[in-house]
Every structure is written in C-alpha cells, then in structure tokens.
Amino acid sequence: MLGTFSYKNATKLYFGEDALKYLNDELPKYGKNVVLIYGGGSIKKNGIYDAVLDILKANGKNVAEDAGVMPNPTADKLREGVRIARDHRADLLLAVGGGSCCDYAKAVSVSVHCNDDPWDKYFARFEEPDCAIVPVGCVLTMVGTGSEMNGGAVITNHDLHLKIGHVFGEDVMPKFSILNPRFTMSLPKRQMVAGIYDIFNHICEQYFSGEDDNVSDDLAEALMKSVVRNSLVAVENPQDYVARSNIMWTATWALNTLISRGKTTDWMVHMLGQAAGAYTDATHGMTLAAVSLPYYRHILPYGLQKFKRFAIEVWGVDAAGKTDEAIAGEGLAAMEDWMRRIGVAMKLSELGATKDMIDGIADATIVLKGGYKVLDRKEIVDILKESL
C-alpha cells in the first residue's frame, strides 16, 4: 500500500555516448551569459572542458568560469559563486562535474537574487526560495548523488562543523542534464566506488521505511540488484561500458524522487555520514559506508520484516528453516561482503575520525523520524562508536 502523493520531475535527460551534442539544443533556450561551474580541473585534462567550451562559443555565449568547486562544497565557496554569478548577470549556470558541482550550482541558483545570506536562509533556517531562480544545467562526469535530476543541495560549513542538505522543489531541479558514461571513466577507482555506494545507500534510505508491500519497494529492489551486479563488473574492469552505463542510469533513478513516492523514507545514514563528513571532510560515499552497517544492525529489530525481505529479494538468502532474525542477519552479512569486495571504507577511523570527535559528530547529527526507529543521543553515540 502506498500513501497519497504527487509526482513531477522537470529535468530533461540526454543519455549516451553522443549526449553532449544535445547541449546545442538546450543553450538557445537561455540568455547570453553562462557561468561554467567545475571542480579541480580534471575536465581540462580529459578534454571535456574544451568540448563544452567549444559548444558554448559556437552558440554565442558569454562565459564566466567558477572553478574550484570542492568535493564537499563550502558555505564560503557558495558565497563566492553567488558573487561571480551576480557580476556576470548569469542567465544559466552550467555545472560540469559530479554531484558536488551539481549541488553547488543549485545552491547558487537560489542565492543569486536572494538578499539573505544563503547559508542562514537555506541551510540553517531551511526556508524556500522567494526570489528569482537562475536555471541550472548539468554535464555529469561522476555518478552517485543523483543530483542531476533532483532538487537537492548539500553544503558544508567548516566554521560550524556542519554539513547540511536542503531538498528544494521542482523549480530548482536542473532544466536539463547530459549523461555520457564515457565521461565517468577517467575517475580514480576509489571515487567510482564511493559513488557506487552512494547510489546503493540512496535506495536503502527510501526502502527501509514503511511496512507495506508496494511498487516503490519493488523498484528499489530491482535497482539495488542492478547496482550490486554491475558494481562487481566495474570494479574488475572500470572501462566496461555496459556496467558503467547501467550504474550511471541507476544512480539517476535512485534519487530522482520516484522510489520515495508513498514512503516516509529514513535518511539517518546520511545524517550520520554528513555529520562525520563535516569533521573529516571525507568523501561522502565513504562516510555513508562507514556508518551503514552499525546503523542497520541497530534498527533491524524495529524493521525486521523489511530486513528479512531485503535478505531474500536482494541477496538471495535461503529462508528455509531459519528464524526471521537469522534471515535478516544473513542479508546484512551479504551486504557487508559486497561492500568489502568493492572496497569501500568500513570504519570512520579509516577516514580520519577519532574518539574525541564522537560527541561533536553526535551533536551535529540531525535526527529524522521517517525510519523504523527515532534515535536518541545515546543511540547515536553508540552507533558512531561502533562505526569507528
């Protein structure tokens, strides 16, 4: 049974090896001034920068660059991006990179014409935009976040040791996104693996909520099985186009809001992982991996039937002659084995977290109520200690 819901996704996708040519179809829809947003410069080494810039110039665009977007975009960087976009009178923000660039572009988009400080308005007070929004387009070079087809933006404030996400409405979703799996193949293997786990956990966050059988859970199970199957291929051969294209497409569907319909959703792994990330500045997917198993083992008794189903449907656990608890436990053991096989971080200590950070991370963890158990502070501390 599904609850009452509405669904709309306004993002147009172009997928495949020749997807970039469709940038020519999109650019005429926007004004002359484009801000090109990208990260540390890898797109200049792999040729994507030149290809995108050639298309922008061919379409007569006046381009300003906003480079140096870090893996965990900061509030200070956001304020810098707002200044660049204002000075350029931006008509379009074009993010070329991974989820961090896409997230950052969306945060800039709602802040250019905003009179308040963007951190205070959107990430402290969680207010919605009440100003004009600059359109965003994405050219994806790393998969994992699903940011190319949703309204989410995650920003880190190092001064406050906070990493906060805000999910904006459909007006903030990218107007278009270009997905060429070839663009992801120059990533270091560790970044690929971090993205793979991010995809998987996005699905888990939506799946582990509610008790009723429903089509959203059916879709989630199919997506999880696809991630597992293709990840094992990609880890052995990162240049396998079929595996990488399947992973890229799964990432988009994992977090474009479809499989959350009718679900309360959990997101506590993300709250724990993001709080840890604010202290360690570690890669997002790796912080999620480090806290996942301790969290899921903690809440398993409260969502036993779903964890049992997860074990049987996703991991193929044989249920014959076993208790529900044993079946569910085997499912998490199978998940742990897969995580080790693909090479994600299994402990926060691998990412630089220490015992003296635990209280601060716990204080920075936002408690949500959509999962099977609403955590108290002691439970958060216990989970974090187990994650070390």
Which portions of the chain are predicted below pLDDT 70?
A: 1-2
Note whether 153 and 165 are within 8 A (CB): yes
Is the Cβ–Cβ distance between 310 and 294 less than 8 Å? no
- From CA 196, how far away is CA 198, in angstroms rounded? 5
Into which CATH architecture does domain 190-387 fall?
A: Up-down Bundle (1.20)
Rounded CA-CA distance 346/288 in Å is: 9
Note whether 12-183 and 190-387 share their fold.
Answer: no
**Residues 6+ positions from 299 with CB-CB distance below 8 Å:** 208, 371, 372, 373
pLDDT computed for residue 1 by the predictor:
58
3-class DSSP state for residue 131? Answer: coil
**Residue 68 vs residues 55, 105, 170, 207: alpha-carbon distances, Å:** 21, 12, 27, 35
Q: How far apart are CA 48 and CA 63, in angstroms?
A: 16
Task: Name the pairing type of β-strands 136-140 and 176-179.
Answer: parallel
Contact in structure between 221 and 169 (CB atoms under 8 Å): no
Q: How far is CA 347 from each of CA 164, 280, 381, 384, rounded to the nearest angstrom?
A: 22, 13, 15, 10
Q: What pLDDT digit, counting tens, does each position of 36-59 carry?
A: 999 988 999 999 999 999 999 999
Amino acid making up residue 219: L
* Burial category of 87 from C-beta neighbours within 10 Å (exposed 0-12, middle 13-18, buried 19 and up): exposed
Q: Return the pLDDT at 8.
A: 86
CA distance 351 to 259: 30
Identify whether the C-beta of residue 317 lies closer than 8 Å to the C-beta of residue 327. yes
| Nearest one of 119, 133, 114 to 162, comparing CA atoms | 119
Report the half-sphere exposure of 136 (CA within 13 A, side-chain side): 36
12-183 sits in which CATH class? alpha beta
Q: Using CA atoms, how far apart are residues 264 and 255, in angstroms rounded to an integer?
A: 14
What's the token pair of residue 86? 């204002």
* Residue spans per domain, the chain: 12-183, 190-387
Nearest CA to 306 out of 233, 381, 207 is that of 207
- 351 three-class SS: helix
pLDDT for 5 equals 82
Q: What are phi and psi of 138, to 5 degrees?
A: -130, 140
Using alpha carbons, list the distances in angstroms from residue 204 to 57, 99, 107, 220, 283: 42, 19, 25, 8, 19
Phi, psi for residue 49 in degrees, rounded to 5: -55, -50
Query: What is the distance between the alpha carbons of residues 263 and 265, in angstroms, rounded to a whole number?
Result: 5
